[in-house]
Chains A and B, each alone.
Chain A
Amino acid sequence: MSVGEHDPYTGQRMTGHEWNGIKELNTPVPKAVWFFLSVTALFAFVYWVLMPAWPLGVTYTKGLLGIDQREIVRESVAEAARQRSWAQRIAQDDYATIQADAGLMQKVRESGRALFGDNCAVCHGTAGKGGPGYPNLTAGAWLWGGTPEAIAETIRVGINSGHPEGRIAQMLAFGRDQMLDRAAVLNVVTYVQSLSDPTLASGPEKEAIVAGKEVYDANCASCHGPEGKGSTDVGAPDLTDGFWIYGGDRQSIFNTVYGGRQGHMPAWETRLSELDRKILTLYVLDLGGGK
């Protein structure tokens, strides 16, 4: 480990240091290192001159190019708005005109898909087909009506959302709150089942259905209508159509009547622009429920 020692493999001189057997070659720093250090430093220097870079007390060097990231954002937002010239017409025209215009409806489908995916799909599904607790928006079985105006209003104020003008949907907890005894609940459940499954009426459940109808007429018809067709005034669903929010099997219907239901649909008034809500209204109708 004398100073003049050379490494037999590389022929390189050693530094003469040794730590527990580790020695070091005195290899000079390769030229490539200096080269890349200079290149990257030069790049940095040029970049500092051109762009905002160094602080100077309360201000900073603005750079020769005068580039400002906030300015760039403002410009690209404006540019995107110019690209959306069609949006102007959606905002102005009435629903029927837009629906009749194939070109505009194409834009609605394109832009509505991402809007729906980002805001609505978590609950209603990417295809709008709903799921347990969340209504199918493609079936035409509307709780609050299927006109564009009704749907736009639902989206604006939501359901049970806490919005001051929000729609309120209250399916009471008839069993839990002891408005009906257990037998009455079971009977009315059977009756509700029979509305979408007429074969039940001739089966062994005949008597329960008769008893259930009495309960229904007294307690349910006010909201769900005398024939169970629902009411878009109070958002009470049609019980005859085979489309269920919470499930049409006996246990699910029992749970609904026993414990009540208050679905929550957020209000979008403060979260989405009027234009976006209009696009969504058209998009939702276009999913299949608009016929």
Chain B
Amino acid sequence: MISELTRGERRLALAVLTAVATFGLALAIAGRGDILAVHGGLIMASAVILMFFVIAGFYAPEPGEERLAQYYDTPTKAGVVLAMIWGVIGMGVGDWVAWLLVYPDMTFDAAWASFGRLRPVHTSGVIFGFGGNALIATSFHVLQRTSRARLPDQFSPWFVLVGYNLFCLIAASGYLLGITQSKEYAEPEWYADLWLVVVWVVYFSIYLRTLMRRQEPHIYVANWYYMAFILVVAILHIVNNLAVPISFGSAKSYSAFSGVQDAMTQWWYGHNAVAFFLTAGFLGMMYYYLPKRAGRPVFSYRMSILGFWGITFMYMWAGSHHLHYTALPQWVQTLGMTFSIMLIVPSWMAAANALLTLNGAWHKVRDDATLRFMMLAAVFYGLSTFEGSFMSIRAVNSLSHYTDWTVGHVHAGALGWVALITFGSIYAVVPWVWKRPAMYSNKLVEVHFWLSLAGTLVYVFAMWNSGIIQGLMWRTYNEGGTLAYSFIDSLVAMRPYYIARAIGGLLFVIGAVVGLYNVWMTIREASAERADAPDAPVVPALARSLQAGE
């Protein structure tokens, strides 16, 4: 990996790592006596370890000009492996907390093992660790192919990938230590947030710099989605995390917002994180890997454009459906609800465009589990967006809000859509970038597919049942005009569904472990016989066009 950097880039890497290490040291010193010191130390240690790698490879021969004739896929490879590892960890912790809800005493009397600390490890682990790494990895892959241009340099993609994973590490370890700013999906504290801004700006610049050098007349719709993802997440992240630390030596900060403004900012963020992290980015993935794998043209160019602008425009208004019947003024709720209802149309346009693209390739869907992953993802995408629009109707939300129905909806989206499209794309991209004819074992892909499907269905049905029972129990009055059930009654009623959910989750985790194993074995095969496959776009300096190739 260091040998792929030019001498200048190696110097740059050392300079950046020195700066990061100094930043970590400064945090550790300023935060001595505070828990911040732990993170300062972690940042410094990470940077110093990486410096050793750079120094060890510093005098290795430089990469030749011929590298420019090939797409730069090593960051993609690393990102895919990281995504799978984070996936197994994040989903594993998810199933752990699922069992914790069945056996609440399972915390060994340790603070770190309490539900409140483990839950964000799960959510950040899967959303940012698994989803984020998969998005970064595939975006680099797709960007180069559809622009017929190489990434602008070797250093910046590594900066993004490594920097992003450092952020994930700070986040996850912080939760276990009890560091959180208590904003859902935005729990990391100010110093981690600042660091992510730096990483994200570099990420966006990679996109712009590559697109500027593209050799295709048009920008493919997948790149529109990826760019919307990067750009909007940057805006959301910065605004929602505006905060003042109580001192530079403390991990704790206070939000710039308070009261209902804080709630609205948080859910404007939260909902658009769903829209632009968990939807737009993965639609980018879908728009590339699905037609590519199916070998079919995209069903409708017009629908992909209309769908893109519909989704980006309408999602922005929808966040207030998370705050129905709260202190939020009713007119804001009205806007959130009505835009959420209109949002179903562009959402289904994207899902339909994917499924109709498969016309003429359904026999492949039958035979190829990888393509079936992506097909099913599109189905679940349609399902969860329909459900979301339905739940945003105020009257429906008065039943579903605060219940497991929301959790069921989330996981129809997160497992059925986000994870399945990711697994499908990873099974497609791994043989391509490692230059293998296929995955190590197609049987295992098949096994993974059925485990995922079974796990998702068990999970979602359990939570639908549990959520609706809960919602009904909470609103049932007896004739005398008082509540018929106590909260504890509803907990007792939920227990069997919690057991079912934890089992469904376990199936899903086992699937992810099978996937990680399969990816790993494919890589081992690839390094065993380093075949030089013909993925060799011509040197741009010599020939005008980078040739296609996976």
Which residues does chain A contribute within 8 Å of B549, judged by CB atoms? 20
In the complex, the answer to whether A113 meets B486 with C-beta atoms within 8 Å is yes
Q: Is B335 an interface position by the 8 A CB rule? A: yes
**Partner pick for B292 among A22, A25, A55, A83, CB 8 A cutoff:** A22
Indicate whether A20 sits within 8 Å of B148 (C-beta atoms), given known contacts A27-B300, A114-B483, A118-B487. yes
B303 CB contact (under 8 Å) in A33, A52, A83, A121: A33
Other-chain contact of A25, B216, B300, B330 (Cβ < 8 Å): B300
**Cβ contact within 8 Å between B342 and A19:** no
> Which of the segments A43-51, A135-143, A155-163, A169-177 contacts the partner chain?
A43-51
Tell me which residues from 34 to 58 in chain A have a Cβ below 8 Å from any Cβ of chain B. 36-37, 40-41, 43-44, 47-48, 51-55
Among candidates B302, B306, B325, residue contacting A26 with C-beta atoms closer than 8 Å:
B302
Contacts A40-B344, A117-B488, A121-B486 given; does A22 touch B480 at CB 8 Å: no
Q: Taking the complex as formed, is A29 at the interface, i.e. its CB lies under 8 A from any CB of chain B?
A: yes
Of the listed stretches A7-15, A232-240, A257-265, name the one at the interface; the rest are far from the partner chain.
Answer: A7-15
A22 near B146 with CB under 8 A, answer yes
Task: Determine whether the beta carbon of A24 is less than 8 Å from that of B342.
Answer: no
A68 at the interface (CB under 8 A from B): yes
Q: Nearest chain A CB to B375's CB is how many angstroms away? A: 17
Query: Size band of the B side of the interface?
Result: 35 or more
What chain A residues lie within 8 Å of B487 (beta carbons)?
117-118
Let me know if B478 is at the binding interface, CB within 8 A: yes
Residues of A within 8 A of B337 (CB): 47
Chain B residue nearest in CB terms to A18: B216
CA distance A13 to B5 in the complex (A): 45
Indicate if A229 sits at the interface (CB-CB under 8 A): no
Task: Say yes or no for B339: interface residue by CB 8 A criterion.
Answer: yes
Is residue B117 contacting chain A, with contact meaning CB distance below 8 A? Answer: no
The chain A residue sitting closest to B295, CB to CB, is A21
Complex: how many Å from CA A171 to CA B217?
85
Q: Is the pair A25, B298 in contact by a Cβ cutoff of 8 Å?
A: yes
Contact A23 B145 (CB under 8 A): no
Smallest beta-carbon distance A55→chain B, Å: 6
- The answer on a CB contact under 8 Å between B342 and A40 is yes
B447-485 near A? 1/0 per residue, CB < 8 Å: 000000000000000000000000000000111111111
CA distance in complex: A44, B220 (Å): 32
Give Cα distance in the complex from A111 to B333, angstroms. 33
- Are B486 and A43 neighbours in the complex by a CB distance under 8 Å? no
CB nearest neighbor in B for A27: B300
Contacts of B33 in A (CB 8 A): none
Shortest A104–chain B CB gap in Å is: 10
Query: Is the beta-carbon distance between B297 and A44 smaller than 8 angstroms?
Result: no
Q: Which of A7, A17, A54, A55 has the most CB of B within 10 A?
A: A17
B480-510: CB near A (< 8 Å → 1, else 0) gives 1111111111000000000000000000000
Give B290's nearest chain A residue, CB to CB: A22
Alpha-carbon gap, A133 to B279, bound state (A):
51
Check if A55 sits within 8 Å of B334, measured CB to CB.
no
User: Chain A 96-117 against B: per-residue CB contact (8 Å), 1 yes, 0 no?
Assistant: 0000000000010011011111
CA distance A126 to B490 in the complex (A): 12
Whether B126 is near chain A, meaning CB under 8 Å from some CB there, is no
Nearest-Cβ distance from residue B503 to partner chain A, whole angstroms: 27
A60-87 contact mask (Cβ, 8 Å, vs B): 1 or 0: 1100000111000000000011111010
Pairwise interchain contact B334-A114, C-beta atoms closer than 8 A: no
Which residues of A sit under 8 angstroms from B330, Cβ to Cβ?
51-52, 67-69
Rounded to whole angstroms, the CA-CA distance of A105 and B483 in the bound complex is 16
A204 at the interface (CB under 8 A from B): no
- With a CB–CB cut-off of 8 A, which chain B residues contact A68? 330
B482 touches A111 (CB 8 A): yes
Given contacts A19-B146, A69-B330, contact A107 B298 (CB under 8 A): no
User: How distant is A9 from chain B, measured CB to nearest CB, in Å?
Assistant: 4
Task: Report the separation of the CA atoms of residues A115 and B484 in the bound assembly, to the nearest whole angstrom.
Answer: 10
Contact A25 B329 (CB under 8 A): no
Size of A's binding interface in residues, CB under 8 A = 55
With contacts A7-B297, A54-B331, A55-B331 taken as known, whether A29 is within 8 angstroms of B292 at the C-beta atoms is no
The answer to whether B481 touches A25 (Cβ under 8 A) is no
Contact across chains for A23 and B331 when beta carbons are under 8 A apart:
no
Inter-chain contact B484/A114, CB cutoff 8 Å: yes
Chain A CB within 8 A of B123 CB: no
Residue numbers in A under 8 Å from B338 (CB-CB)? 43-44, 47-48, 53
Please report the C-alpha to C-alpha distance between residue A30 and residue B353 in the assembled complex, in whole angstroms.
11
Instruction: Let me know if B341 is at the binding interface, CB within 8 A.
Output: yes
Asked whether A110 lies within 8 Å of B478 as measured between CB atoms, the reply is yes
Return A119 CB to nearest CB of chain B, in Å.
9
Q: Are B481 and A83 in contact, CB atoms less than 8 angstroms apart? A: yes
- Contacting residues of chain B (208-233) with chain A, CB-CB under 8 angstroms: 216-218, 220
For B422, the chain A residues whose CB sits under 8 A away are none
Knowing A118-B487, A118-B488, the reply to whether A41 touches B481 (Cβ < 8 A) is no
**A27 adjacent to B220 (CB under 8 Å):** no
Contact string against A for B residues 424-455, beta-carbon threshold 8 Å, 1 for contact and 0 otherwise = 00000000000000000000000000000000
Tell yes or no: A28 within 8 A of B by CB: yes
**Closest B residue to A61 using CB positions:** B331
Alpha-carbon distance A111/B476, docked complex (angstroms): 12
Q: Does B2 contact A (CB under 8 A)?
A: no
Interface string of B312-336 (1 = CB under 8 A from A): 0000000000000100011101110
Q: Are A29 and B303 in contact (CB under 8 A)?
A: yes
Residue on A with the closest CB to B289?
A22
A45–B28 alpha-carbon span in the complex (Å): 56
Q: In whole angstroms, what is the CA distance A36 to B352 when docked?
A: 14
> Which residues of the partner chain B approach A82 to less than 8 Å between Cβ atoms?
481
- Quick one: given A20-B145, A118-B487, are A84 and B220 in contact (CB under 8 Å)? no
Pairwise interchain contact B302-A40, C-beta atoms closer than 8 A: no
CB within 8 Å for A54 and B335 given contacts A29-B303, A118-B487:
yes
Please list 20 pairs of residues, one from A and one from B, whose beta carbons are closer than 8 Å in the complex, sorted by A's number.
A19-B146, A20-B146, A20-B549, A25-B297, A25-B300, A26-B300, A26-B301, A26-B302, A27-B302, A29-B303, A36-B348, A37-B342, A40-B344, A43-B338, A44-B338, A51-B334, A55-B331, A83-B480, A111-B480, A114-B482
Chain B residues packing against A (C-beta within 8 Å): 145-146, 148, 216-218, 220, 288, 291-292, 296-304, 306, 325, 329-331, 333-335, 337-339, 341-342, 344-345, 348-349, 352, 356, 359-360, 477-489, 548-550
**A interface vs B, CB < 8 Å?**
7, 9-10, 14-15, 17, 19-30, 33, 36-37, 40-41, 43-44, 47-48, 51-55, 60-61, 67-69, 80-84, 86, 107, 110-111, 113-118, 121-122, 126
What 5 pairs across the A-B complex have the smallest Cβ distances? Answer: A117-B486, A83-B481, A111-B482, A44-B338, A27-B300
Having A26-B301, A69-B325, A84-B482, one finds 18 other A-B pairs with CB under 8 Å, namely: A19-B145, A25-B299, A25-B300, A26-B300, A33-B345, A37-B342, A43-B338, A54-B331, A54-B335, A83-B479, A110-B480, A113-B486, A114-B482, A114-B483, A115-B482, A117-B487, A118-B486, A121-B488
